[in-house]
Chain A
Amino acid sequence: SQTIHQWPATLVQPVGSPLSLECTVEGTSNPNLYWYRQAAGRGLQLLFYSVGIGQISSEVPQNLSASRPQDRQFILSSKKLLLSDSGFYLCAWNLRETEAFFGQGTRLTVV
């Protein structure tokens, strides 16, 4: 069966520090991969999506970036975090014909 792993679950980082959130999927091949952010009390904002290795599309310009070094690995990064980067970050995957499956999320607090 397919599973999605996202870590860490919680993270507290100082302003200006780098960020690396990792997401991996097991049990499937060539999935679409997504990073979402959810600010407190808000809906899900699509940040990046990827249809294949090295293929990244950005939906919202910001100081975050994403990479897909392997088929089932999706990484969200920042060189210098801002206070406004705080939020709940969710990774998700799907195949073209299926519903999306979400990880359990990372709660990032930038202090």
Chain B
Amino acid sequence: DAKTTQPPSMDCAEGRAANLPCNHSTISGNEYVYWYRQIHSQGPQYIIHGLKNNETNEMASLIITEDRKSSTLILPHATLRDTAVYYCIVRVLQTGANNLFFGTGTRLTVIP
């Protein structure tokens, strides 16, 4: 039921930018794009979210295309601790709980 598509895995050299793509071609006008990550054997951690404007916080940047059908999460300087599974989901705010579906995510491996 996840409405997003992500590559199953990616590698990134330590210190370089990691760019993780996500396709959400059926996104509705009131759906936000959320990114989480899960380090092995831990609960997922929220990273960032956005509606249509690009967003940046202390962890990452989120670039959403103008048609909103895809987005990219950017980790500007990847470290070994960024090795994790990254999940992109879309959800509508201000509704009930019936829209918090995660897909299989992208397994990012940061290489020394």
Contacts and interface: CB of A to CB of B under 8 A. Distances in A.
A46 B43 contact: no
Interface string A17-56: 0000000000000001110100000111010011100000
Contact of B97 (A36, A43, A51, A102): A51
A100 B93 contact: no
B104 A100 contact: no
Interface in B71-102: 85, 87, 93-98, 100-102
A44 B103 CA distance: 7
B49 interface: yes
B47 to A, nearest CB: 9
B37 to A, nearest CB: 11
Contacts of B36: 99-100
B42 A51 contact: no
Contacts of B25: none
Interface in A50-105: 50-51, 57, 59, 88, 90, 92, 94, 96-97, 99-105
Interface string B15-58: 00000000000000000001010100111111001000000000
B94 A44 contact: no
A94 B49 CA distance: 14
Main DSSP-derived SS at the B contact region: loop
Nearest to B42: A104
Interface residues of A, number: 27
Contacts of A88: 41
Nearest to B46: A99
A5 to B, nearest CB: 12
Given A104-B42, A104-B43, A44 B98 contact: no
B44 A102 contact: yes
A34 B43 contact: no
B97 A97 contact: no
The 7 closest A-B pairs by CB, nearest first: A102-B43, A43-B104, A32-B97, A44-B102, A99-B46, A49-B97, A51-B96
